[in-house]
């Protein structure tokens, strides 16, 4: 499936894609590789090479191996979608590894495995936790936009530095940990 082309062209002569029609990338029409300065590049057959590409999940919780958007910023700083990878498993291992690495950079997340203590500090919620990357302490503003639902029973927390901390399922916490968490983050 390919996107429709508009008649207008970017400054470099490359055609604009119709933003209302998704373009699904497949290994037959696209190649993912590293370009200058080890930046992710995508070469699309009969189109062009897109440099400085990054990857973003479209459905990160329910379909983490499917529906990956490859995007870049044009000279005006506008985000442009190169295309969508329908199923990452269909790609060659080298291409898949590059996309997975780009996703890891974009979605670096600490997964909380144990809560030692939660309390107030300097007007923020202070967390002392154990994560998959080791012990961590962080501060979070007490605002609704700092804790997002994750799947059916989890939460993603954003600290004051915009780092992400994931509790995949509040039900896996001990009763004491869950009670302490819900005392501070009840929305």
Mean pLDDT score, 25-29: 97
Question: For residue 42, what pLDDT is reported?
Answer: 97
Q: What is the mean pLDDT of residues 21-33?
A: 95
Q: Which of 52, 86, 106 is the last residue of a domain?
A: 106
The pLDDT assigned to 4 comes to 37
Contact indicator for 85, 67 with CB cutoff of 8 Å: yes
Residues 123 and 149 in one domain: yes
What's the total number of domains in the chain?
2
Q: What are phi and psi of 131, to 5 degrees?
A: -125, 175
Q: What is the pTM of this model?
A: 0.60
The pLDDT value given to residue 3 = 40
- The chain-wide mean pLDDT, for the chain, equals 88
**What is the rounded distance in angstroms from the CA atom of residue 30 to the CA atom of residue 57?**
18
Residues 10 and 75 in one domain: yes
- Length of the chain equals 187
My answer on whether 89 and 154 are in the same domain is no
Tell me the average pLDDT across 10-35.
Answer: 77
Residues 97 and 119 reside in one and the same domain: no
Indicate if 65 and 51 belong to the same structural domain.
yes
- pLDDT tens track for 127-186: 999 999 999 999 999 999 999 999 889 999 999 988 899 999 999 999 999 999 999 999
Q: Does residue 104 surpass a pLDDT of 90? A: no
Contact 71, 79 (CB under 8 A): yes
Asked which of 106, 131, 154 is the last residue of a domain, the reply is 106
Nearest Cα residue to 142 out of 167, 125, 159: 125
User: What is the tens place of the pLDDT at every residue in 51-100?
Assistant: 999 999 888 767 777 899 999 999 998 989 999 999 999 999 999 999 99
Residue 68: phi, psi to the nearest 5? -105, 125
> Do 97 and 15 share a structural domain?
yes
What b/e string do you get for 67-86 counting C-beta neighbours within 10 Å, with b at 16 or more?
bbbbbbeeeeeeeeebbbbb
Euclidean distance between CA atoms 44 and 24, whole angstroms: 11
**88 and 16 part of one domain:** yes
Mean pLDDT computed over 93-108: 90
Q: What's the confidence (pLDDT) of residue 7?
A: 32
| Residue listed under structure tokens 């055609």 | 15
Instruction: Give the range of the structural domain holding residue 179, as residue numbers without chain letter.
Output: 109-184
Q: What is the pLDDT of residue 151?
A: 86
């Amino acid at each position: 499936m390919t996107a429709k082309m508009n008649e207008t062209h970017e400054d470099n002569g490359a055609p604009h894609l119709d933003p209302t029609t998704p373009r699904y990338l497949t290994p037959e029409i696209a190649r993912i590789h590293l370009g200058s300065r080890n930046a992710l590049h995508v070469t699309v057959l009969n189109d062009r090479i897109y440099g400085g590409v990054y990857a973003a999940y479209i459905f990160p919780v329910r379909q983490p191996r499917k529906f990956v958007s490859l995007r870049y910023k044009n000279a005006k700083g506008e985000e442009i979608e190169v295309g969508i990878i329908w199923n990452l498993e269909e790609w060659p291992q080298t291409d898949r590894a590059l996309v997975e690495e780009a996703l890891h950079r974009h979605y670096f997340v600490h997964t909380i495995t144990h809560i030692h203590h939660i309390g107030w500090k300097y007007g923020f919620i202070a967390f002392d936790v154990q994560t998959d990357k080791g012990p961590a302490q962080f501060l979070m503003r007490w605002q609704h936009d700092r804790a997002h639902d994750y799947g059916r029973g989890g939460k993603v927390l954003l600290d004051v530095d915009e780092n992400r901390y994931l509790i995949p399922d509040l039900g896996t916490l001990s009763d004491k940990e869950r009670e302490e968490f819900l005392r501070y983050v009840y929305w």
